Amino acid sequence: MAVVNAGSDVQSVVRLTEMADYVVPFALRAACEIGVADFLEEGPRSVADLAELTSTHPPSLLRLLRALACRGVFSEVEPEVFALTSLGKPLCTGHPRSLRAAYPLLAADIQAWAMFEHSLRTGEAAFDRAHGTDYWSHMANNPADSARFDASQKAVTGREVKALLPAYEWGGFATIVDVGGGNGAFLSAVLTEFPSVRGVLFDQPHVIAAAGPVLADRGIADRCSVVGGDFTSTVPAGGDAYVVKRALYDLDDEGAIALLRAVRTAIGAQGRLLVIEPVAEPGDEFDWGKLYDLLLLTMRGGGSRSRVQHEKLFAETGFELVRIIPTRGLSIIEARPV
């Protein structure tokens, strides 16, 4: 049999078994849900204490912590006494790069993954099949899921801004419109760093309803207006930059074209469109965008695009690609109206 990069079959079985595992991802998410890492920040604790603090069943919590300890997230320093490891630290709520909210255990997502084969056979979002409704309608009708989804986006954005802010001349714009900007985590970071810039946060009405506290916390509410609507129909005019961060890839080509056309109608001749998402190129190279691509297909029917695919979408909607600035994980894809 002709195979590429042949290794031993035993190594292959070990690696595939590790890759196919879904216990660790669920265990990690459960640990985030109960916030157990927070109680280990001051030092090791017994399972009995931790179970009381997290309202969990002691023998089951022991099993969770042991499972994650064998992956290095916690350490069993004495029998039934656990400590945090350096790997586990970012699971603490107060960590400067906290990932705790980034890993929600959303039953609706998991049910969609169970139907991934539907996406594979049809190209349609398995989420819609599993729930009889699309992702965003589900979120609009389930405030608890929506709040946890938005919190996960905020947690991820907190990490991303560290790479995105120094990578682009944000301070050169008078007004930045963040299209699909969630609860304002990215825009408020830009406005905090660049006091001369004003912002317009645009997202679905039920999402922007939660933006007030985020903007107020940063002290930038007076420089940022908040507008609710549907970005596939119209977006606010008056910006000299339109940011579309991790929102274009949620859409199939039809939806993406509708969004870009709405921005094209609103943007001035000298404006800039800044699509911020992974650029996934063909080939074997590791790219987080290639993995996330499957989540986008399953949940929302979208996907990560290559440079050529972006160029094609821009050409169809009255834009041309200026440059792509890679940052850690996400790229800034700059386009201008033509």
Ligand X SMILES: C[S@@+](CC[C@H](N)C(=O)[O-])C[C@H]1O[C@@H](n2cnc3c(N)ncnc32)[C@H](O)[C@@H]1O
Q: Using CB under 6 A as the criterion, which residues of the chain lie in contact with ligand X when the complex forms?
A: 136, 153, 157, 180-182, 186, 203-204, 207, 230-232, 245-247, 250
Tell me how long the chain is. Answer: 338
Q: Any idea which residue has 């802010």 for tokens?
A: 165
Closest contact distance (angstroms) between CB of 27 and ligand X is: 25
Residue with Cβ nearer ligand X (45 or 246): 246
Closest contact distance (angstroms) between CB of 299 and ligand X is: 9
Residue 332 DSSP code: E
Closest contact distance (angstroms) between CB of 250 and ligand X is: 6
Residue with Cβ nearer ligand X (38 or 203): 203
- Residue 220 CA to its chain's centroid (Å): 23
**Helical (H) or strand (E) element with 324:** strand 319-326
Residue with Cβ nearer ligand X (182 or 337): 182
- CB neighbour list of residue 162: distance below 8 Å, 6 or more residues apart: none
Q: How many Cα neighbours within 13 Å face the side chain of 301?
A: 18
Cβ neighbours, 10 Å, residue 113: 16
Residue with Cβ nearer ligand X (153 or 175): 153
Closest contact distance (angstroms) between CB of 97 and ligand X is: 15
Which residue is closest to ligand X by CB? 180
Closest contact distance (angstroms) between CB of 237 and ligand X is: 16
Phi, psi of 55 (to 5 degrees): 55, 50
Q: Any idea which residue has 């006494």 for tokens?
A: 81
Q: Which two tokens stand for residue 85?
A: 């490891």
Residue with Cβ nearer ligand X (31 or 177): 177
Instruction: Tell me if 267 sits within 8 A of 242, measured CB to CB.
Output: yes
With both helix axes pointing from N to C terminus, report the angle between 307-317 and 253-266 in degrees, rounded to the nearest 10.
Answer: 50
Residue with Cβ nearer ligand X (37 or 333): 333
Closest contact distance (angstroms) between CB of 162 and ligand X is: 14
Closest contact distance (angstroms) between CB of 241 and ligand X is: 14
Residue with Cβ nearer ligand X (175 or 188): 188
Q: Say which amino acid occupies 326.
A: P
Residue with Cβ nearer ligand X (40 or 247): 247
Closest contact distance (angstroms) between CB of 25 and ligand X is: 19
Residue with Cβ nearer ligand X (118 or 154): 154
- CB neighbour list of residue 147: distance below 8 Å, 6 or more residues apart: 210
Q: Which two tokens stand for residue 186?
A: 């990215």
Instruction: Tell me if 286 sits within 8 A of 309, measured CB to CB.
Output: no
Q: Which two tokens stand for residue 108?
A: 């609706």
Closest contact distance (angstroms) between CB of 40 and ligand X is: 29
b/e sequence 192-223, b meaning 16+ C-beta within 10 Å: bebeebbbbbbbbeebbebbeebbeebebbeb
